[in-house]
């Protein structure tokens, strides 16, 4: 058993960390306050290959392994969770289902423009009454001969505002539940696709999170992903991989907050001593690091299993569950260590605390993760 990263992984990690330090970290506070990731940042992450990390080179990707992708998300999220989720949702929730379930023609048509950043990807799954309950989707599609016609509404669409490509889930008949679901590749600039608003959020404010109305949207037959009725299978497999990406994001947020808390504890003096010399603060730092290391182990294991093409559903759910709750714990303690300053935006840990909370919610709430884990344990 070897817990060391490979030399290639170390080089990648250092390279991404250098970009984060020079370009992303200085912009993170502005991204949060302006509710937008600058086009210059999106252009840079595109040119650096961050949007197609583990996609094979033949489809325009960097051809790296899945662990490289997880390390990338982790490093990015140490400074800016909004940018981390842009990359994660684009890669795990749009590129991956095309790679896993798309025809050769679909891979060659869509993956190169996604990997280059010409188009930013999203998943169009959640509805007002269908989030965790995927089988309850109401958005309906009909076969109109040469194309499908789709009507419905989607909410909480991460990256939707970029109007790139979306993996859309719709049902032929809601009464069929999961058996009626199909998945489609949708160009969000298609007639009838209306972006309703960019949601105002507690955290990850730089991420476009939109509601979308679909009014008689025509989708070419060749844009069907897999076969009709494959939608539920595609959704479950896509979310399974997406959870590891969220775990990596949570891990990065926790690590970024921990570093700021540790540095502050070594610099801030009270009663003539650095507050890090007091056991009350030392105990907090010890607990924070212990949870970070535990989260890292399960997240890396889930990524390794995916690279090895081994079953990873339970590890995926556990990594998302544990890492997200560790991130919320660590960031809250980071604010506490900073005292009153932790509540002020200048010190960044308050932003990290806000950003951490969403990792417990999206890709299925942690209550859903617990149910998923328990069901697999009881088989």
Residues labelled catalytic:
363
Cβ–Cβ under 8 Å, residues 204 and 81: yes
Q: Are 89 and 166 spatial neighbours (Cβ–Cβ below 8 Å)?
A: no
Q: The tokens of 56 are what?
A: 């094979």
DSSP 222: G
Polymer length in residues for the chain: 379
Closest CA to 79 of 31, 140, 129, 44: 31
Give me 229's structure tokens.
Answer: 């009725």
Q: Is 126 helix (H, G, I), strand (E, B) or coil?
A: coil
Copy the structure tokens of residue 68. 């490289």
Structure tokens at 339: 């005292």
d(CA 111, CA 194): 24
Report the alpha-carbon distance of residue 78 to residue 19 in Å, rounded: 12
2: left (phi over 0), alpha (psi -120 to 50) or beta: beta
């Amino acid at each position: 058993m070897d817990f060391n990263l490979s030399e290639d992984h170390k080089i990648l990690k250092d390279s991404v960390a250098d970009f984060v330090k020079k370009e992303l970290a200085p912009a993170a506070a502005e991204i949060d306050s302006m509710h937008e990731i600058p086009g210059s940042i999106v252009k840079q992450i595109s040119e650096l290959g961050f949007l197609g990390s583990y996609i094979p080179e033949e489809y325009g990707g960097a051809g790296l392994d899945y662990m490289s992708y997880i390390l990338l998300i982790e490093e990015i999220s140490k400074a800016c969770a909004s940018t981390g989720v842009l990359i994660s949702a684009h890669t795990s929730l749009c590129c991956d289902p095309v790679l896993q379930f798309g025809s050769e023609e679909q891979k060659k048509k869509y993956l190169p423009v996604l990997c280059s950043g010409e188009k930013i990807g999203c998943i169009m799954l959640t509805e007002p009454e269908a989030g965790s309950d995927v089988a309850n989707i109401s958005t309906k599609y009909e076969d109109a001969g040469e194309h499908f016609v789709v009507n419905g509404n989607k909410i909480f669409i991460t990256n939707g505002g970029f109007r790139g490509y979306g993996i859309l889930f719709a049902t032929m008949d809601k009464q069929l539940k999961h058996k009626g679901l199909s998945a489609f590749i949708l160009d969000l600039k298609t007639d009838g696709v209306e972006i309703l608003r960019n949601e105002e959020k507690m955290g990850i404010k730089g991420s476009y999170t939109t509601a979308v109305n679909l009014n008689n949207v025509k989708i070419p037959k060749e844009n069907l992903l897999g076969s009709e009725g494959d939608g539920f299978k595609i959704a479950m497999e896509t979310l399974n991989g997406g959870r590891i990406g969220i775990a990596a994001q949570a891990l990065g947020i926790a690590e970024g907050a921990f570093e700021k808390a540790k540095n502050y504890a070594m610099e801030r003096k009270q009663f003539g001593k650095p507050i890090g010399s007091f056991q009350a603060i030392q105990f907090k730092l010890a607990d924070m690091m212990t949870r970070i290391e535990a989260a890292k182990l399960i997240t890396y294991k889930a990524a390794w299993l995916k690279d090895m093409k081994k079953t990873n559903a339970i590890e995926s759910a556990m990594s998302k569950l544990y890492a997200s709750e560790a991130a919320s714990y660590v960031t809250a303690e980071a604010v506490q260590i900073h005292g009153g300053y932790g509540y002020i935006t200048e010190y960044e840990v308050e932003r990290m605390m806000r950003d951490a909370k969403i990792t417990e919610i999206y890709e299925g709430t942690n209550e859903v993760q617990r149910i998923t884990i328990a069901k697999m344990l009881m088989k």
